[in-house]
Amino acid sequence: MNDLIKILDKNGLIFAFFIVALIMYVSYFIGKKITNNKIPGAAIAISVGLMIAYFGGDKGLASIPAFSGIAILGGSMFRDFSIVSTALGASFSEIKKTGIIGLTSLVLGTVVAFFVGGFIAYLMGYHDAVSFSTIGAGACTFIVGPVTGSSLGASSSVIAISIAIGVIKSVFVTIITPFVAKKLQIDNPQTAMIFGGLVGSTSGVSAGLAATDPKLVPYGALTATFHTAMGCLICPSILYYIVLYFLPH
């Protein structure tokens, strides 16, 4: 048994290919045969991934020895590489069409998430500008939260909260998007870009769109990646100064 774990651990990435293939196979089977194609296989597979992660540790399933390769396959390097590759399916003219409105969605999405998140934190007892801003930034994405928190000197528990909020957001977006896509008319490149810009959370947006319609992934992912950039840029600066004006030390 120990020998087996050693071999699997040593060849972690290869074992991860097998595990993920297994999850995909079972999920697509369930999607096709049991839900009669009503729930996309991708959505089931992603949800299964999250459910399995619950039984692991701080790296989800990857915290369990032998499964460490999952964190490599699902880490930022492979994730970003495969996201970039989806751009091959995007057309430049569609992106140009969204231009200004895409930029508006980026700014609006960041500002709304920041102030709604910060305001709720304020109501629940976080009255200082640094915590307000860090938690608000966490409501943008789980990268913006810690970037903002560490540049403003927030406490580590507040930073942890901001990361957790970002994770909840990406989980929520992943699960909910396929179900609300029709109602919100997320069925064309333009709306997908607006959606990506407003909601941010690259992982949530791209996973959610993958489960909705894989053709829309590059459009949503493109604006979503700039959402994190926008958040890192304006949360610890302009937005923080605005908060500071209302909540002086």
Residues 58-117 that bind other proteins (CB under 8 A): 58-62, 70-71, 73-75, 78-92, 95, 98, 101, 104-105, 108-109, 112-113, 116-117
Decide: is 199 part of the binding site for other proteins (CB under 8 A). yes
CB atoms within 10 A of CB 74: 19
Nearer CB in complex with other proteins: 125/248: 125
| CA atoms of 165 and 117, how far apart (whole Å) | 9
CB of 26 to other proteins, least distance (A): 11
Give the single-character DSSP code of 31.
I
What secondary structure does DSSP assign to 161-199, as a single string?
HHHHHHHHHHHHHHHHHHHHTTTTT--SHHHHHHHHHHH
The one among 190, 242, 244, 247 contacting other proteins by CB under 8 A: 190
CB of 156 to other proteins, least distance (A): 13
Q: Which of residues 119-178 bind other proteins (CB under 8 A)?
A: 120-121, 124, 135, 138-139, 143, 147, 150-151, 160-161, 164-174, 176
CB of 117 to other proteins, least distance (A): 4
Distances (CA, A) of 217 to 43, 59, 90, 192: 14, 25, 9, 8
Nearer CB in complex with other proteins: 2/194: 194
Q: Which of residues 4-23 bind other proteins (CB under 8 A)?
A: 16-17, 19-21, 23
Nearer CB in complex with other proteins: 233/247: 233
Q: Give the number of residues in contact with other proteins, rule: CB under 8 A.
A: 109
Distances (CA, A) of 10 to 4, 66, 97, 156, 222: 10, 8, 48, 33, 35
| CA atoms of 4 and 11, how far apart (whole Å) | 11
Look at the block and give the residue holding tokens 């919100």: 184
Q: Which of residues 23-62 bind other proteins (CB under 8 A)?
A: 23-24, 42, 45-50, 52-54, 56-62
